[in-house]
Structure 1
Amino acid sequence: MTGRRGGTFVFTADPVFPPVSGADLRNWRTVLGAARLGPVTAVSLWGPPPGAAPTPPDDITLATLSDATAAAVFRRPAGGTAVDLTFPEGWRERLDALLAGGAPQRIVIEHLGLAPLLALPVLQGARRILDMHNVESDLLAASEPLWRRLLTRDAKTRAVRAVERAMIAAVDEVWLCSAIDAARLARLHPGVPPLRVVPNAVPSTWRDGALAGEPDARLRQDGPRLLFVGHLRYRPNIAAALFLARRLLPLLRRRLPGATLVLAGRAPHHRVRALAGPGVTLVEGPDDLGSLYAAADVAAVPLRVGGGTRIKVLEAMAAGLPVVATALAVEGLDLEPGRHVLIAERPESFVAAIERLWRDADFAARQRAEARAHVLGRFGAAVVDAAIAAGLAGPAGRPDKG
């Protein structure tokens, strides 16, 4: 397959279409935004077998650099850092074939493990953008146990920070999900290239979708249905699931005996699988998130570690579902506590917030409506596509490098 002549190439680790995870949703939005400027070729290190994925829109070409599995690509190479990927055999030949129609005008790279692409001469003349879904070195430092960081003298974090430094020095612009992450990156790497906040977008499913069930219909039950959606092998999401099932739910059921919990997402870790039982339902690889949101009463998001902005929060609010979350979980979304979201940190405060939403239907309805209006207005496709187009429209080459 040959890529489109000129235009934009978006390089990703995972295939962008159909989007499944939060990272996929952000990457697919980048592709759709870039398509407003001309042809786009989305290139992943691995992908589904030919014919297994739906056909994308006409202006978009999907390509993969290998027939490898995700597990093979994400297997850390010998001596590699925590973000390094394994480039499968034959990837360069496939890329050369894609570029036979002409070098791209613009490239977007979304994973630090794709750093080898920036060294290729054929991509030197393009406008080069690094889309950082998270500040990875900061996220890694926050998630590593303190004893391990002290024992290893923070070697893992320092190695990832070196990869970040090299990549940001090789690109024309860096995109981040929030102003908070932009400030973090500038603090960690003084002299970074121009930074642009390209927020996560509300998934297209909910731009014109129906709201979740109305509160009055739900009050006939004897307790709320809580929902947590996320990649269930990702460490922060595993911790959130354990908190919800083991600490929050038992406490909540003392107040509201009919309360239940649904954990939904891809590739559940064995510790998450073990949580399924009375009152806790596990939905692996859901095909239809809409039905899960429609059946839920509250989205509970007790994240303690992470960066960027959480698409799971945007998705829940756009679906009209009240959200109770830690302050970190809604960081960078410019939400007003008590108006758009209820903030809780400890199990007792989560219980109080959930019970308030459950018993006060008028308050819950106001929060649902205010939150939905906020995220559709601030994080709708038009807003995000405008930021993407502005970032792609700049020149190749950094002014500070002469």
Structure 2
Amino acid sequence: MKVAFLLSKDPATTHGGDLTISRELMAISRSAHETVGLCLSPDVTSTRLDGDLWKVPKPAVAPAAIALRSLRRRRSLVHTRFDDDAYVEALDTIEADVYVADHSYMAEPFLRSRWAGSKPLLVNTVISESLVWSETRGIVGRIDSVRIRRDELRVARAARGVGTYDADEAAYYRSHGVPRARWLDVTLAPKPAVDVAASGRRLVFVGERAWPPNQQAFETLLEWWPDISRGIDDAELCVVGNRERTLALPPGVQDLGFVPDLDAFLGTCRAVVAPVTTGGGVRVKILDAASRGLPVVATSAAVGSLSSVFEIPPHDDREGFVEAARAMLLDRDAAAAEGTRIHTINADRWAAGVPQGTVLDWIAS
């Protein structure tokens, strides 16, 4: 079977949580099927093939033109933004047995392609953009979130199947006329375990802060850090990921931005903290931490359905989050035991083929 993944970003040159898992899904697909990708890339000026990845020039954001097309097509802004004519033209030349739209909005070019109606489409929602827009993009986002949700349901109903990274989201789709919606129970391949027992009192937050939910979580951490670190003189909070803007930092906080060797740096940390309040989506922070054996202190939005997979209790209120983060700083042995526990769960799942089977079963469904 030949599988074509439809991507909004270039997985060869772009980083981010959604692409981390997209690359994992494509690698699993390649283990059983011929697999190609078609992506929008800022690094090319004309459509070209790079290995098994087709690259289409990614057009610059043109707000006025997008808004006009949005009105004409009666589509939300984000679904209009990624419905690109050059992408449709390239897609028309790629014949596959199954097409996988990575993000709901990447189903739009498929539905305008020659394959619509004759070839099966799977939609991996990754994250509900309607929730993100309503919480992080002001009045425009709150208004357009209604249209985004309508578009997400429309493309889901047009697909053969829908995959989500959250069990509750899959249940939502099933209750709204999408019976073949399922939770993709995907975890990452295990990495060498971090030596938490040798770590200092260092917590880490990882996230690209151009993504509004990550910026919000970062600002929350800055507000809560004085309570987390109170009375712990050597406590550190390190923030990793490209900055959205520079903010004043309380004592003990370092905004490191891009880290050249992330693996080596995370090997010096005691635990990952993630006070995310919306847009959990792919939850790569949690998946990556578990793959390394790094303990996690997180909210419900950050951990989602992975709470049951790794038996990680969420901490949604400030007091509970602060207490759990302080416990990681103050009790090295307990942190090390927690890291070993989640690393073992992750490794055992991978060895048993749980994530691989989830993806391959969905593609074949």
Q: TM-score, normalised by structure 1?
A: 0.78
* CA shift in 2, pair 1:113/1:388, >3 Å: same
Residue type matched to 1:197 in 2?
Answer: W
- Aligned residue in 2 for 1:259: 235
Q: Determine the C-alpha separation between the residues in 1 that align with 2:63 and 2:358.
A: 30
User: Deviations along 1:116-174, whole A, 9 cap, x unmatched?
Assistant: 322212354222101111233344445566xx49xx9x531221122112211221101
- Aligned residue in 2 for 1:237: 214
- TM-aligned CA deviation for residue 325 of structure 1: 1.3
Residue ranges of structure 1 left out of the alignment (5+ in a row) = 1-5, 395-402
Q: Does 1:118 align with 2:111?
A: yes
Contact 1:171 1:193 in 2 (8 A): no
Q: Determine the C-alpha separation between the residues in 2 that align with 1:75 and 1:237.
A: 27
Q: Does 1:227 align with 2:197?
A: no
Contact 1:9 1:42 in 2 (8 A): yes
Residue type matched to 1:269 in 2?
Answer: E
Contact 2:88 2:110 in 1 (8 A): no
Equivalent residue in structure 2 for 1:201, among 179, 187, 191: 187
- Aligned residue in 2 for 1:397: none
Contact 1:177 1:199 in 2 (8 A): yes
Contact 1:43 1:62 in 2 (8 A): yes
**SS of residue paired to 2:115:** helix
Q: Determine the C-alpha separation between the residues in 2 that align with 1:132 and 1:269.
A: 25
Q: Does 1:213 align with 2:202?
A: no
Equivalent residue in structure 1 for 2:164, among 169, 176, 181: 176
- TM-aligned CA deviation for residue 307 of structure 1: 4.1
Sequence identity (%):
21
* CA shift in 2, pair 1:135/1:212, >3 Å: same
Equivalent residue in structure 2 for 1:64, among 55, 60, 66: 55
Q: Does 1:283 align with 2:265?
A: no
- Aligned residue in 1 for 2:16: 21
Q: Does 1:349 align with 2:316?
A: no
* CA shift in 2, pair 1:43/1:76, >3 Å: farther
- Aligned residue in 2 for 1:156: 144
Equivalent residue in structure 2 for 1:389, among 341, 357, 360: 360
Residue ranges of structure 2 left out of the alignment (5+ in a row) = 71-75
- Aligned residue in 1 for 2:126: 133
- Aligned residue in 2 for 1:3: none
- TM-aligned CA deviation for residue 92 of structure 1: 4.3
- TM-aligned CA deviation for residue 76 of structure 1: 7.6
Q: Determine the C-alpha separation between the residues in 2 that align with 1:285 and 1:191.
A: 43
Residue type matched to 2:266 in 1?
Answer: Y
Q: Determine the C-alpha separation between the residues in 2 that align with 1:354 and 1:260.
A: 11
Instruction: Name whichever of 381-390 and 325-334 sits farther off.
Output: 381-390
Q: Determine the C-alpha separation between the residues in 2 that align with 1:258 and 1:360.
A: 14
- TM-aligned CA deviation for residue 7 of structure 1: 1.0
- Aligned residue in 1 for 2:73: none
Contact 1:10 1:41 in 2 (8 A): yes
**SS of residue paired to 1:199:** coil
* 1:284-299 pair list within 5 angstroms: 284-299=257-272
Contact 1:12 1:42 in 2 (8 A): yes
Equivalent residue in structure 2 for 1:10, among 5, 9, 16: 5
Q: Determine the C-alpha separation between the residues in 2 that align with 1:347 and 1:132.
A: 30
Q: Determine the C-alpha separation between the residues in 2 that align with 1:91 and 1:73.
A: 17
Contact 1:229 1:264 in 2 (8 A): yes
Q: TM-score, normalised by structure 2?
A: 0.85
Contact 1:200 1:379 in 2 (8 A): no
Residue type matched to 1:192 in 2?
Answer: V
- TM-aligned CA deviation for residue 302 of structure 1: 0.5
**SS of residue paired to 2:225:** helix
* CA shift in 2, pair 1:278/1:381, >3 Å: farther
Q: What is the alpha-carbon root mean square deviation over aligned residues?
A: 3.0
- TM-aligned CA deviation for residue 108 of structure 1: 0.3
